[in-house]
Amino acid sequence: MKNFIMIIMLFLSQTAIANENSVQTLLDQYHSEGATRFDANKGKTMWHEQHFQEKLGKQVSCATCHTRNIRKTGEHVRTGKLIEAMAASVNPERFQDTKKIEKWFKRNCKWTWGRECSPQEKGDFLTFFQSQ
Amino acid sequence: MKQKGLWGTLLFFGCITLSMATLAWSDGWGWGEHEEQEGKGFLRQTAGVAPVMNKAYENECAACHFAYPAGFLPERSWIKIMGTLDDHFGENAELDAQTITEIETYLRGHAADQIPNRFSRSIVRSIGSQDVPLRITDTPYFRRKHREMPSRMIKGNPKVRSFSNCLSCHTGASRGSFDEHSVNIPGYGRWDD
């Protein structure tokens, strides 16, 4: 068990490998939860999908805070907090930790769409981020 | 007879001196203890509050905003905040149960009504015993301390925007120092009363 953790830690120290690992782990998990083939284009379409945000009283999409171009730095629509790019090529640090990815999916899907995202949707989003 | 009177006088003044000394000593002891506590409270050099010392709190909360000192709100406020993370001032800030427990334990243990700190006591005293403020900026103590601040320096200041951004002006805030002398308002400079 200890050796296993050590090996995992070694992998984590290498960003590129870690990213592939974390993202692949999640994609595998989503498959096991019933998702089929993941599609970056679907992810992109959902990125721009407009939903009514009740607390804000207006239509929002992922792009509202993360920008339409996921290679660019975003800005939170209400607080003005700068949000680093979502594209894996620009900001690989984002995809190192499966727990962190899941945490933000849960928060932001609920805030933006008013519900949690399905395993299929999360997989499509991740594939979209990895493709850019 | 004369001799007796002298001894009586001596005894009388002796008693007075001793009681005065005892009073002074106990008073001095009280102050000494008080100062020692504040000195140990990480803030010997400035009047401040304990800086944040919990990794989970820093990682999770400070990922989005300034890690507000636990000692700026009473325990009941932290309980309510940690229990309503799905609507955290309009944002969804949900966490897993284990992380919530860890952060909540830290915040409650260092809450304003749980620690011996000057600022914390002032804040607690300023709010009603039934009130559960969710924002530090809503406490009467905070309002009183910031009432002289013109809106153009805060809301109208693109580098500040809100009183919630402590660090924009309180340059020592991360170290727990909210001393007036360390205030530097972006675009306006030092603030002197």
The string of pLDDT tens digits covering residues A27-76 is: 999 999 999 999 999 999 999 999 999 989 999 999 999 999 999 999 99
At B149, is the secondary structure helix, strand, or coil?
Answer: coil
- In chain A, whose CA is at the least distance from the CA of B94? A107
Query: Does the beta-carbon distance from B92 to A111 stay under 8 Å?
Result: yes
Return the exposure string of B54-70: e unless at least 16 CB atoms fall within 10 Å of the residue's CB, then b: bebbeebbeeebbbbbb
* CA-based R_g, chain B, Å: 24
**Segment B129-184, tens digit of pLDDT:** 999 999 999 999 999 999 999 999 999 998 898 999 999 999 999 888 998 888 99
Structure tokens at A12: 């984590």
Question: What is the model's pLDDT at position A111?
Answer: 95
What are residue B170's DSSP bridge partners? B183
- Angle of CA points A97, A90, A88, to nearest 5°: 45
The rounded distance, in Å, linking the Cα atoms of A43 and A63 is 12
pLDDT at A86: 97
**Nearest CA of chain B to the CA of A20: how many Å?**
23
Task: Give the mutation candidate from B92, B154, B165 for the A interface (greatest A CB count, under 10 A).
Answer: B92
Contacts of A55 in chain B (CB under 8 A): 87, 90
Query: In Å, how far is B125's CA from the nearest CA of chain A?
Result: 30
> Which of B90, B92, B161 has the CB atom closest to A107's CB atom?
B92
Residues paired with residue B185 on neighbouring β-strands, in sequence order: B189
Res. B7 pLDDT band, cuts 50 70 90: confident
- C-alpha A92/C-alpha A16 separation (Å) is 7
DSSP reduced 3-state for A3: helix
pLDDT grade for A3, boundaries at 50, 70 and 90:
confident
Q: Which residues does chain B have within 8 Å of residue A81's beta carbon, measured at their own beta carbons?
A: 64-65
User: Nearest Cα to B117, choosing from B141, B147, B82?
Assistant: B141
CB A38 within 8 A of CB A123: yes
Q: Which amino acid is at B45?
A: Q
pLDDT of residue B192: 72
In this prediction, residue A80 has a pLDDT band, given cuts at 50, 70 and 90, of confident
Contact by Cβ (8 Å): A109, A117: yes
Q: How confident is the model at residue B96 (pLDDT cuts 50, 70, 90)?
A: very high
Model confidence pLDDT, tens digit, residues B25-82? 443 333 333 433 444 444 443 457 777 789 999 999 998 999 999 999 999 999 999 9
Contacts of A79 in chain B (CB under 8 A): 64-65, 91
